[in-house]
Amino acid sequence: MWKYAQKSGNRISDISYPVEHLATFRVGPQFGVQWPEDGVKKLKDMERTSDVWAQKLILKLCRDHLALEDENG
């Protein structure tokens, strides 16, 4: 795992990590996903009923937000 930080003067503007994104689904009591364990169960259920594959993305940790970007830009 690597991280990349861009410097702006003496301040780091953002840090990036390569990640493998597996699934996107809604979270909340109305969707039955409130805790990390609920998300893992949902992912395992999805894996049993359909194909699940990893999408390679870059997770950027910025000062005021997180961003997921395709690794190819």
- pLDDT number for residue 41: 93
Q: What single letter denotes the amino acid at residue 21?
A: H
Task: Tell me how far apart the alpha carbons of residues 17 and 21 are, in angstroms, rounded to a whole number.
Answer: 12
Query: Which pLDDT band holds residue 3 (cuts at 50, 70, 90)?
Result: low
Map out the domains of the chain as residue ranges. Answer: 4-70
Give 67's DSSP letter. Answer: E
Task: Render pLDDT for 47-73 as a digit per residue (tens, 0 to 9).
Answer: 898 878 889 999 988 888 888 898 776
Predicted confidence at residue 72, as pLDDT, reads 79
The chain-wide mean pLDDT, for the chain, equals 82
- Please tell me the class of the 4-70 domain: mainly beta
Kind and range of the H or E run holding 61: strand 55-62
Gap between the Cα atoms of 66 and 32, Å rounded: 24
Give the whole-angstrom CA distance, residue 55 versus residue 21.
5
